[in-house]
Every structure is written in structure tokens, then in C-alpha cells.
Structure 1
């Protein structure tokens, strides 16, 4: 170790202590990236602490007979380069004491450093008064878990893993086969009170099976579980067990199995629920199955299985890539970078990352923070849709946790550091400047403010070539790219049914006319009935001949014919209304854009300029100007290319076969693209509406206001 910060002002309080490990703790040896670590674990409380070689050399000599000063001096004489500094020894003793892993004589001076009981009591009190998340301990599940010991080797075997994979494959195939039905059910049912009630009732038993799997996995590798209870997250009860004994297991594979056990159970429940949902008829059982599938799938993908949150997936990743305690060490590495690079501090110890760990340490903390921000926004929106008060509480609490806590922690660490006066003043000035710069960036510095929307190149209806009636394409009047005039025939359809209907109706009409002539001479009473029949058949024949006339499709305007798939379409069947091509008039290109209701007023009233980027030329921007806006909201998209099924941004009603009806209103705007742009009928575009330069605080405030209006306003 370095001699920077070697001396601690608290050294005199601990130098005379004679600490030793508690008798019931265990020590296991683990290897991460070629480095040896030792884990000290308490099997009763489930607490543990990981020691590197230097720290273990110190703790290993603390036998209750040697003082801290004697052990430190001996290590300093033997290996001055690797011996712990005084400050590191004090922190190590405090950490071990807080976890209840060491014991020593206690004096008032020492108690002032440790303060273990008061700190834990304050932490428990804070957890108890948190309205969004707290825990209640219920007891020791050890005796209950031991009843399953005879099954533990069967449940956690290669055969069980293979069966689980096959089960998941079957569930995935069922989901793929019923994809459209699942999407339709999800979009129409997931937000209903019925689903929310079922989810609230089903989550605790699903979570109980999840936690039972963790406990059984710990027992599989001869570990102990001594704590279980109920945690409350957003008013939803969830059982938990303390499986921290896995941290003391020597093999990474064992720890990974314990961490992944809950995810394995949830995914198996999801697969089973999907198969049940597909097999049963609509009703309560089907609703329960879909709720289980949604809970299990979303919990595994968004929470438990996601390594960016410190749940099961995180621990699996840490053990799989030999990255112990990655989250805390990543934050510590960023703290070191800020202190050393931005504040210019020299008296700070490097975290000393292992071989190949630097990219992980640099990337994990910001990636995890960004993911938690996105997840928090979704949670606040969901909570607000249930209750305005609950949404406000969740928003304030999560905002403080994500922003306030890191900022306050930064200043607390800086103020508590033992630094020379000159360096402290320099660091405080730099930290103040950094804080003011951050506040200025958010509050006072104008930055570009824009709205980006998706749209399509719009072709007027008269320029679209559609099939007027059902028919088979038999001939073209002009090739693709040719100049055509308004009224010119561009393709011909043929429908044999119309020919047969016309022939039959004409023959029937001739027969009725002959009957009319005979009736006028022999039976005048029947004349009126026959005349009515002639009129009826004549109308039908006129309608058939009108449809036959629509078999010839003509251009509605003059321009250049755009029908690139003529060879593929020839001989094919075209239902009535099918879009077969366009006539490009050579006039200014019109782009039609759909925007959500939240941003419609901003686009309509605060757009300074607009630019368009075409999908086939994403690197080139074209200026555009706003022509018109549909005055009222609509629930129909201007084109199916904007629907989610076609890769667009808007969800559509699964019951709408045209994929145009949206569950939420949208506003439609038309823009004219300036310049000589090649017309691309129906092509996708991205439109950027420039709103000028505005500080981030105002931009975020407006977005927050829209979230509140969307979720908390009963009228929306």
C-alpha cells in the first residue's frame, strides 16, 4: 500500500485493542481474475465481508492476544509495500464490527468510532417509515427448508436443467404461435382494474416460489438460511429469504446457481402459464394464466434478471465474469475519478482495479443509473395512474434517491476526507465550481429544444391508383416511370364472376321482356309484377356493368407513373381498394406527420423551423415548412407505416385489421419539403420541429407537466 493518508486521527482509539474473529464465523477462499480473496461469513446472521490478501494478512493475525498496533507494526516490517495503512485498518475494523464478525474490548473511545447499534437502529427506523418499501421479519425458515433436503440433488441437476430448457422452449413456441392474440390481449386487458387486482393477488405467491428456490439452492450446497419475512414495495407484499450465505461459497458456479434459482422458477411459471392460456377457453383461468405470464416475464426481464439492478441477474453476472461487488466498486471508481481528475486531489487512494476490470467499472455505474431513471419514470407514471398522492410520493422519493442522494454523498465524502488545508480549500473551490456548473447547465444554459416525429411522404388521394373492384390484373396501359395523362388507362382487371353475372342478368332481362310482351296480350294482371322484375334486374345489370367499367383503372392526375412491381403483380388478385401505384405530379413533396396529443400544442405553436430526413437518405436534412394542421385529434393514423406492427412508433388496436386505429388520440400535420426532392410515395421520414434554445430545467419541467397531465388528470 502507499503511504498517502497512512496516518489516521482515530488510530489512538484502536491501537490498543485486541480483536479477534468471532468463534462461529467461517472463512472461505475465492479466486477472482487470478487474485485470491477470503470471505468471512457469519452463518447465523448471514453477514459476510470480503478481504483481499493484505486485509486477510491483518485479520489472520488478530487472535485476541496481539494488539492492533503490534499486528500493524509486524506487517509493516515484513512487507511495507503491501501493508495496510492506519486509515485502512480503522475502516476495516469498523466494517467488520458493523457486520458482527469480530469482538474485542469496548471503551467509550472505541464506541465513538464503531457506533454499530445506533447506525443499524437508525437504518431500521428509516426502513420502517418508508411508505414505499419496508421489511418485516417473520422468522427462521431453516427447519422448513430441511424438509426438502432429499430432493435438493434432483432439483439442481443437469437433468433438471435440460428439462427446464425444453419447458422454456415449449413456452416460447406457444408464445410465437399466438403472438398476435397475446399482443391483442395485452393491449386491451393489462391496464384494466381486473388485471391489476389479479396481479396484486398473484405476485406474493409467485414471489414466494421465487424465494423458496433461493432457499433450496442454498441448502443444495449445504448453506444455511435463517431469516425470512415480508417486504412491501409500492403497497405490494412480497416474501423474501436471506440467501446471503451463498456469498461464502467457494465456487462461482455454486453462487450463480443460488442467484439464478429464482429467475429459473419465474421463467418456468411463465412458460407454464403461456401453455395454459393457449389451451383453455376465455374465462378466469385464462385471465390468471396471462397474469402469471406477464408477472413472471416482466419480473425476470426488467427486474430480477436485469444485471443493471442489484438483484439476481446482477449477482449472476458478477460471479460469471469475476466482478465481485461491481456496483459499489464502480461507484467508488467514479468517486476516485472525480476526486483525482476533476477536483485535483492527490491524497486519495486508487481503488486498484484488477486485470481487465476498468471498462466494467467505468461503464456499470452510469448504465445502471440511466436504467434506474427510465424505470423510475415508468413506476411514477404507473403509481400516478392509480393515485395522484401515490404518484407524487413515488416521484419525490425516487427523484431524491437518484439525484439528491448522490449529490449529498459527494459533498459528505469530500467534507469528511482528511486533507491538508491547502488541498482542502482547493478541492472545495473546485467542487463548488463543479456544482454551480451543473446547476447552470440545467437551469441557466439554453440548449437545443426540438420534437422529433415520424411521418410518411403523402400522396393526394386523386394521385393514388387503387382497384375500383375485385379483379385479376391482366394488362398495363403504361410501364413504370412513363408519363401519363389524367384519365389515361394504366391497368386492366378481369373478374370472371362479373362476366357471368352480366350474362346471366342480360339473359334474365330478355326473358322478362318476352314475358311482358306475352302478358300484355294474354294476362294484363301480371304486367305490373313483370315490370317490377324488369326494373329490379335492370338495376342489378346496371350495377354489374358499372363494376365492369371499374375494371379499367385510369390515372386521376397527370404525371409520372410509379408502379415498380408490375411484373410481380400481373396475374395477381387485387381486392377492391388495394393501392396499386401512384402518379407522381412533380409538385412539392408533402410530408404527413402524426404526433401524440401531449406534444401537439408545442409543435403547432412553438415551431420555429422544421427539417425532414428521408429513410433512404438518413444523412441528409431537407428544410420544410408547416402547411396545415388537422384542427381536431383523431384516432386513425394517416398511414399504416406509422403503426407499431410495421416498425412505427404508435400502438394500434389489435382488432383493427387495417392497423390504423390508435388507443390514444393523435394530431396530424402536413409539411411541404423545400427543394428538388425525389418523390418517394409512402416513404418513411423523420421530421424535426425546432423550438429554439431553452434551458434543460424548462424542457424537463414541460415533460414532467405532460406526464402529470397524462396520468393524474381525470379528464385525459
Structure 2
């Protein structure tokens, strides 16, 4: 018997239940007494069996409704016959004889015993006889759940009913039908097509509008729009279900990993035998959102800037994104999942697909001789279920990891670490352990072949690769810099009187590079000299006049200030000749400069460096610095794609780099390193790096100054298993506060 309806909180237990069922089939115990004399449990009289749609092979199916738990179970023809006959007390032999004589079925004792155990374990039978205290105690203990276990199961998914809309839906259904008639759908189609055309014409403007909502106000607006659209979405499900005669007991909010989403309980749709009608109920929400998106696109296209234009944009973008990214995703138990389930004609798709995938792995990878759990499905459909299962597992892995990382970095780190550990254990470690346990119990079905040898070799190889200490290559950013360099710039605005060098010229220390003159500075010097002369005469007159002696000190200060300015300007004029401070090559020079040309203050004229002594300045992450030693050989790969160059580590700075000065070589590293610029114009590193100096063994022309690249290095032999454990230990210790 397979579960047809969605059970809250059951998704996590489905894999384990399927596994136990598989193992039970392999290990059916023979009863001690004569099995034909064994009394059978009596099914509850309130259970209702509905006729279901035809299966893929044309066989009839049925749906069992349990009014106590409001769940639906999908059964086949054989189970339906057993449900019909087990309404009264009888023994196994009597039932077996009745089935074999009155039907064309041929059931075995083991099949009936397994069915009886299944319905009894699901609570579908009436209690017969008196159970001893120990048995009742065991059953009660099995039903009890510790608070921690309840939290682990239910933080992933739980529901909060808010309203009982069935009466309201019945009263308003006829009015809503007007919105779903042929004229209405024709109008929706016309407006939507016009909206799509307008969107294509102004797509750049539409996308650019998103940037205006990247703020707190925009988030609030989007949140309100999502709530409004999702209310319409869920009522669309409800009205279509009500129109098809399905009762809608309640609507509310479901929490998926603590994220709220609206829901509408249309579980009674399983009573409908026609899959097309069930498909309409499942697609109603997305159809309503598509209509809203089309109308909103039309409104956005025909309105100008303003409030209405913004509202149309928000509504259209919300509906489009939620429909294509969330509702259509079959890995989540939303509309896309149920649509895929009805399109394929496979009820309870997810656990059945997971069981098929486990069977495929056991038979294809380990050569086991096992019967397919879905023998009535085509081979193409079976492999479609395998692809779907793998997609679901990968999606769940990234979804839960992403949520844990988000909680860790944005909210409470302790909770984030806890969730991360829970998801590692629950979604990776425990499934692997359960699969290993199942493989051990099914070892008698192993069939050794070349494929199994290859699989075992890959598994062993991966284990060795993960556990054994071995060297690993990694790369860090580096830039080619000279050990000595000089930046030649104009100390003041002026005119070029003399040029002593050109680009590519080799110069010696002290060689004349350029001479400048500044008429502006010269005029200021003359003006200051005249001003000082006047001030000195005024001071002399104050000494002669007794009434002006009180102004002598002030006048002397004015003279000192003017003389200081004159001295500063004179020093600047004396710097009109710029000389080389090192011996090297002029590797950059402003070729537009010529004699008589005016240059502005601080204008860079050129750069000089000793090209015979260049090295790579490498920024190494603090997590890697302990793997390096002076003398290690490395390789520098230029970003320009030129040939790599080998080098040797000659120095490792033990002091961490925190700030990068904005000089000639490090002023443009914003695209290569995680940095932010502070108020002083310095580049502050967001991560911890250490400076490593690499000497090139045979520097070629590709190793030109300022060349960026990746420096590849090797670690000391280390085990990936040890690294992983150390990382987890560091995180736990760091966040625990010890």
C-alpha cells in the first residue's frame, strides 16, 4: 500500500519506511502456527474505498480514505478485494479460498500476511482481543517522540490552519465562475499577448526597474505583493476544487524550514478518479498567477511613470518569479510536484521514485539481482523517476545547506551551526549508513562483474584520496614588481624646458630626466619679494612714530609669514630639475611631452625601475601560509595567457597584511582581491593575507612590471579528512565561546 496524500512531516521518514519495507520482503518470518488458521484483523467500518483512475498498464486503482486521520492511500485491485472482504472476522485460509474461488487473482499466504501487517500498523483495523501490558507499553513508546526529535522532524515542515472557507466558497462560487468563462479567458489571452509584446519592446527598462526596489521599502512592497498574489493563488485552488465537488476544510500558512507559505487543503481531491480534473485543481494556482502576470504586464506597458506603473511592475515580477522558480519546481511539494505526478500518472511520486533510484543503484552499480519495485511502469518512466530523484536530492542538499549558511551569517550563528550539523547528519550521513546497512543485509544478491569491480575500485580510490595525506596544488594572486622603482612626476605646474630621457632608455643614478620652469611661481616670488620690501619699510616707519609702536609685533609677524612663503616657493623653483634616484630603465614615459609643453602639478611623467631585479609579490591566504617554506618552487601563470615562469620563494613575511597602500603597483587591485577603500584612500583587505616574495628562476619578457597572474603552489602532505574535521572543530569551538 502506498501513501497517496501529502502527509505533513512524513517526507523525512519516507526513505526509511521504504527501506524497511524492502528488507521486510527479504526477511518474511514463517509463523509458528498453521498460517491458514491464523485469524485476520478486521478493518474499521468507517474506511471508504473510492474508485481511482486507471494505472499506466490499464489496471484499475482505488483510493482508501481514513476519516480519522484525513489521509488517502492508493491501492490496487488485489488490495481493494481484500479491503472488501476483511470487514468481518475471518481466518486466513477462509479469505484465501474465497479470493481464489470468486476472483481471477492468485494470492499467496505471504502476500496476505504482509497486507494484514501493513493495515494493522497503519491503524486501519479494529482492536481484537486483549493485548498484554508489555505490548501496549511498546506501542505507546513507539508513538512517543522526544521534543528534540519532534523539532528535527517538524522544523522542516508544519502547518497552521487559519480559516475554514468551505461555506464561503459555496456561497460565492457562481460569481467566481464568471471570471473563468470563455469570454474571460479570451480577454485574458488578448491582454497577456499585448503585455508580452510591450515587455519585449522595453525589456531593458523592465529589468532596470528592479534596481529601484533593492532597499528596505522595496522589500516591504514586494512582501505585500507576494502575500496578495498567494492569497489569490490559494483561492484559485479552492474554487476549482469546490467547482468539482471537493470539500475544502481549511486554509492557512505552512512553514517550510521556518519560511511561511500559504496553503489550501484540497486533500479530498484524491476522491476524484479523473486525473484531468485533479490536474485542473493542481494547475489552478499557477493559471491564476499567469493571468495576473499578463494583466499586470499590460498595465505596466500602457502606463507611464507613477504609482500605478510601479504597482503593475511589482505584481508582474512577483507572479512571474514565483510561478517559474517556486510553483513549477517539482522538487518542492508545490503545484509542480502534483502536476508532474498527474502527468506521469504516478501517485505518491517522490517515495516511489526514491525506491526506484535505490533499486537502480543496487542493480546497476553493485550487480544485485533484485526485482524492480515498479514492474508495471515502462523502462523510460523508470529512468525518468531516477533522474527526478537525483534532482530532488541535489536540490534538497543545496536548499538546506543554503538555509543553514544564511542563518549562520545573517542571524544566529549557533543556530546556523546546529542546523548545518543536523542537515549533514540527516541528509548525508544517515542515508549513507542506512544504504550500507541495506547492502549488507542484501549481500546474498551480489553478482560480481567488471562493473562491480570498477565501482568498488572507485569507492576505494575515493576513500584513499579523501583519507591519505597527499600534496595538493592551489593558486594565489600575484603581481610582478621591481625591487627598486621611481615614479617621476611634476612637483609643480610649469613648462618643460629640457627633456633628458625617452622611453626605453637606460639611466644611471643621478641622471637628469627633465627640467621645468613655472612663470606662475616666478611671478609669485617677485610679488612676495616686493611685498616683503613694502612690509619692511612700514616696520621702519613704525619705529620712528611713537604712536605706532603697538603695531610693530603684528607687522613683524606679517614679514615672517611672507618670508616663509618666499622660502617655500624658492625651494619649489629649485626642484625644477628632476634626477634619477636609481639606476634602471625608463619602462614608462609620457611620449606626448615635449619641450615648451605645459604640465600640471603631480602629473606622472614616467616610471623607472631596475628590470634585472623583479619578483612576484604574492598574497597568500592565512589558511595556506603554513603549507609554504622558503625555497619552495612555484609557477607564475600570467593573466595575459603568456607562457608561465617558474620561481622560488625567497621570503615569507610573518606579519599579516591589513592595508595596501595606493601606490603605482597596488592601486588597481580592487578586481583581484577582496578589498574596500577606507577614508584615507587605502585598500583594506576583507580577509587575512600574508606577503610572499617569489624570485623568478628565468624571467622572460612576459614577466613585465605590473603583470598580474596566478601563482600555483603545493601544500605539505595533508589528509582531506583531517582538514574537514579540523574545520568543523574550529567552527564549533569558535561559536561555542570556549
Q: If the length of structure 1 is used for normalisation, what is the TM-score?
A: 0.61
**Distance in 2 between the 1:636 and 1:669 partners?**
14
Name 2:425's counterpart in structure 1.
400
Are residues 136 and 513 of structure 1, via their aligned partners in 2, closer, same or farther at CA, if it must alter by over 3 Å? closer
1:701, distance to aligned residue in structure 2 (A)? 1.1
Matched, 1:454 2:476: yes
**Distance in 2 between the 1:301 and 1:236 partners?**
17
What SS class does the counterpart of residue 692 from structure 1 fall into?
coil
**Distance in 2 between the 1:574 and 1:260 partners?**
67
Name 2:368's counterpart in structure 1.
345
**Distance in 2 between the 1:586 and 1:389 partners?**
54
Q: Deviations over 1:330-377 (max 9, x none)?
A: 644542343113322123327688687788666665565456555555
Moved more, 452-461 or 603-612: 603-612
Retained in 2: the 8 A contact 1:454–1:649? no
Name 2:611's counterpart in structure 1.
585
Retained in 2: the 8 A contact 1:589–1:673? yes
Retained in 1: the 8 A contact 2:49–2:63? no
1:585, distance to aligned residue in structure 2 (A)? 0.8
Moved more, 533-542 or 60-69: 60-69
Q: Deviations over 1:117-163 (max 9, x none)?
A: 99996799954675844625436543487388657758995557987
What SS class does the counterpart of residue 631 from structure 1 fall into?
strand
Are residues 254 and 334 of structure 1, via their aligned partners in 2, closer, same or farther at CA, if it must alter by over 3 Å? same
Q: If the length of structure 2 is used for normalisation, what is the TM-score?
A: 0.60
What SS class does the counterpart of residue 589 from structure 1 fall into?
strand
Name 1:535's counterpart in structure 2.
563
User: Higher Cα Rg: structure 1 or 2?
Assistant: 2
What SS class does the counterpart of residue 616 from structure 1 fall into?
coil
**Distance in 2 between the 1:627 and 1:19 partners?**
82
Matched, 1:502 2:521: yes
Structure 1, unaligned runs of 5 or more: 77-83, 110-116, 187-194, 270-278, 281-291
Q: How many residues align?
A: 629
**Distance in 2 between the 1:589 and 1:542 partners?**
40
Name 2:301's counterpart in structure 1.
none
**Distance in 2 between the 1:30 and 1:575 partners?**
86
Match of 2:692 among 650, 664, 669: 669
Name 2:19's counterpart in structure 1.
none
Name 1:310's counterpart in structure 2.
332
1:232, distance to aligned residue in structure 2 (A)? 5.8
1:407, distance to aligned residue in structure 2 (A)? 1.8
Q: Deviations over 1:501-521 (max 9, x none)?
A: 425523422431552575477
Moved more, 398-407 or 312-321: 312-321
**Distance in 2 between the 1:354 and 1:487 partners?**
88
Are residues 621 and 531 of structure 1, via their aligned partners in 2, closer, same or farther at CA, if it must alter by over 3 Å? closer
Structure 2, unaligned runs of 5 or more: 1-22, 30-34, 87-94, 130-138, 297-305, 308-313, 544-551
Q: Deviations over 1:477-513 (max 9, x none)?
A: 8776665555667899x9xxx9574255234224315
Q: Deviations over 1:635-670 (max 9, x none)?
A: 558946654xx2x462x4476696822445444333
What SS class does the counterpart of residue 694 from structure 1 fall into?
coil
1:413-562 → structure 2 map (5 Å cutoff): 413-414=438-439, 422-423=444-445, 441=463, 445-446=467-468, 448-450=470-472, 452-460=474-482, 462-463=484-485, 465=487, 467=489, 483=506, 501-502=520-521, 504-516=523-535, 518-519=537-538, 528=556, 531-539=559-567, 541-542=569-570, 545=573, 557-559=583-585, 561=587
1:399, distance to aligned residue in structure 2 (A)? 1.8
**Distance in 2 between the 1:470 and 1:316 partners?**
76
Q: Deviations over 1:434-491 (max 9, x none)?
A: 6995698179841545473531314248536475669899999877666555566789
**Distance in 1 between the 2:571 and 2:166 partners?**
84
What SS class does the counterpart of residue 679 from structure 1 fall into?
coil
**Distance in 2 between the 1:606 and 1:244 partners?**
69
Retained in 2: the 8 A contact 1:467–1:576? yes
Are residues 232 and 629 of structure 1, via their aligned partners in 2, closer, same or farther at CA, if it must alter by over 3 Å? farther
1:590, distance to aligned residue in structure 2 (A)? 1.2
Match of 1:627 among 651, 654, 661: 651
1:59, distance to aligned residue in structure 2 (A)? 8.1
**Distance in 1 between the 2:598 and 2:265 partners?**
66
Name 1:218's counterpart in structure 2.
237
